[in-house]
Amino acid sequence: MAATVGKIGTTIEVARSRWALGFGWLACVLVYGFALYAGGNEMAVWINDLAWTLASAAAACFCFRAARQVEQSRRRAWLLISIACASWFIGQLHWNYVQLVLKVAQPFPSLNQVFYTGFAIFMIAGVFQLPEARNRAPFTLKHVGNLGLITCCLAVTVVLGMLEPALQNPGVTTTFLWVGVAHTVLVSGTFLAALSALWTFRWGASWTPMLLLVVAACIYAATNLIYAHSLLIGDYEPSDFVNLSWLAMFGVVACAAHEQSWLTGHEQGDLTEQMQARERWLEAVVPAMLVIIMVIVAMSSTAMLTPRVAWSVASLFILFAVILGAREAYIQSESQLLTDELVVTNQQLQDANVELRLSEARYRDLTAELEQRVGERTTELKRAYDELEGFSYAVAHDLKAPLRAINSFAHLFEDEMQGQLTDRSREHLNRIRNGSLKMATLIDDLLAYSHIDRRGLQSSVVSLPNLVDQVLNPYQDEMQRRSVTLSVVVEPTTVRVDASGLALALRNLVGNALKYTREAVEPRIAIVCRRKDGLVQIAVTDNGIGFDMQYHDHIFKLFQRLHRDDQYPGTGIGLALVRKAIERLGGRVWAQSKIGEGSTFTIELPG
Ligand code: ADP
């Protein structure tokens, strides 16, 4: 918050200082204008020279300060611009010394003119050193056309405003005339360079200093043309208001430098698009403005309308029209090219779209076909699975009858052969009976295992304490006989579940707990039911023989046993049955154990 306030504060301060600088300069221009008006030519020489000396010095200082503050990429540009102002300042000092101190009339051209020319050259060199200039848009035929139009306008102005008045002025020497022409070429060059910068630079957020510099260059060029015109026709007056423009120009340069100092360190976005829009607007308006200027210049110079002038001005108008036409044709062909490209791209886009739709449709068809195939295969598999289930159920069921027969006939045989059987024969008979009993148990368990898939789920709200009671009931006698310590901690809660599936799983776990605590000195079994994180957990813990944890998952597979059959008889189906039953209820089961210390089997069900 504090930082924001600080930033706003700084921004307001800078805005104020910008306005202060602008208004300060405007005030100087007004005072200066008033002094020119009031003082007449005598005073004007002093006022002009003093004002230009101070203004060029101030602008040089501002630019030098900007050069010190800006980032490396802009430093050289601002140094060159400050040298430009300093060059003017030195020229001005020289002029002041000779003209005002020594009171010697200056020859034309004089040394100070070299320094003034230096101003234009360094200024343009500086502007073209700015990063915006290094990242320029291509200079196209359209830009050449724009510059051609402006050159025509300048030429009309020069012919009517300078050449012709100079030629008609008997007081103008040839040297004077040539210096005038050279000077005109230089300022026109400055003007054209400034405009080409305006058109081709890629503008960033620091466009204000750039624009101000271009404006300064334009003021410089325009003022110089008017100044040269007055010199050539011999009516230059030190109190002319055109002299104000020099001061204004330095004011604009100082403002540009001040702006650049402020922009340093501030975030800079890219304004290329906005500036391009302005450039397009400018390009459309410029030819019309140029025609207006040319007509005004021509109309105001009718006094010099000799046939020579008429021919040259007419030729320049024709050249203007030709360039305008060529420029328009180029712009049209460029936009036609762009339109063609757009049409091609659009067509490609449409083709790609159609292709996309087609592949989408193909993809949909394939998915539908795949789904259909998966559906068919699933039905086939289910049928095969059902057949297999039915088959194994029937086989298991049918096997029970011969087993019962073996067992009862073995019984009858023993009764009938009472007293005639040797101990060895009796042992053999016992083995036959035990084998058939074991096989019957195995078949019962297998039947239970396959039956579990065949019976549907019947969910109901089940009270957990009641269910646990029902499961424990059949084991009460055995527990009492074996003095098993039973601890039951069941939260008085209900769960929506298939009761017989859960009871079957719990029965198996309690049965195993009793079986595998057979050799414990003080057998203990604990049942804990509780809710945890929205789930119901039922844990059956015993202090029996336990098992190695590396088999914690293995024991849930069909027929997998860890203990010998003569020690702990069993079929290896119980835990597989438990897992199948619990998974059908949407739950899971897992075991934790340590050899010799006991085991815990936990069932987890969705609450
Ligand atoms: P079984 O009829 O052999 O008990 P189960 O599928 O119920 O078949 O158990 C598989 C094996 O897991 C058992 O043979 C036994 O080795 C081990 N097991 C199951 N419960 C316990 C337990 N409470 N304590 C130690 N081992 C157990």
Mutate-to-test residue for ligand 1 from 446, 508, 551, 575, highest number of ligand atoms within 8 A of CB: 575
Nearest to 224 by CA among 165, 267, 166, 183: 183
**Phi and psi at residue 603, to the nearest 5°:** -105, 135
Please state, as a whole number, how many other Cβ atoms lie within 10 Å of the Cβ of residue 252.
Answer: 23
Res. 480: pLDDT tops 90: yes
Q: Residues 156-178: what's their mean pLDDT?
A: 80
Q: How far is the CA of 574 from the centre of ligand 1 (A)?
A: 8
Separation between Cα atoms, residue 435 and residue 580, nearest integer Å: 28
Q: How far is the CA of 607 from the centre of ligand 1 (A)?
A: 28
Q: Residue 137: its pLDDT value, please?
A: 76
Of 68-82, 116-130, 274-288, which range is least confident?
274-288
In the chain the first and final C-alpha atoms are separated, in Å, by: 51
456 pLDDT tier (thresholds 50, 70, 90): confident
Separation between Cα atoms, residue 205 and residue 485, nearest integer Å: 86
288 pLDDT tier (thresholds 50, 70, 90): confident
pLDDT tens-place string over residues 65-105: 999 988 888 899 999 999 999 999 999 999 888 887 888 87
Describe the crossing of helices 499-515 and 423-454 by its angle, rounded to 10 degrees. 150
Atom of ligand 1 nearest to the CA of 508: 7
Q: How far is the CA of 516 from the centre of ligand 1 (A)?
A: 8
Q: Residues 3-20: what's their mean pLDDT?
A: 54
Of 263-267, 309-313, 318-322, 547-551, which range is least confident?
263-267
Separation between Cα atoms, residue 289 and residue 74, nearest integer Å: 34
Mutate-to-test residue for ligand 1 from 516, 571, 582, highest number of ligand atoms within 8 A of CB: 516
555 pLDDT tier (thresholds 50, 70, 90): very high
Q: Which residue lies with its CA nearest to atom 7 of ligand 1?
A: 574
Percent of the chain with pLDDT over 70: 94
Tokens of 523: 């057998």
Measure Cα distances from 156 to 159, 278, 291, 309, 479 in Å: 5, 27, 10, 10, 125
Give the residue, 427 or 283, on which the prediction is more confident. Answer: 427
Q: Residue 407: its pLDDT value, please?
A: 87
Res. 313: pLDDT tops 70: yes
Give the residue, 163 or 15, on which the prediction is more confident. Answer: 163
Res. 483: pLDDT tops 80: yes
Q: Side chain identity at 349, as an amino acid letter?
A: L
pLDDT tens-place string over residues 201-242: 776 666 788 888 888 888 888 888 888 778 777 777 776 777
Q: Which residue lies with its CA nearest to atom 24 of ligand 1?
A: 546
pLDDT tens-place string over residues 350-402: 999 999 999 999 999 999 999 999 999 999 998 988 887 777 777 777 888 88
Describe the crossing of helices 174-200 and 111-127 by its angle, rounded to 10 degrees. 10
Res. 518: pLDDT tops 50: yes
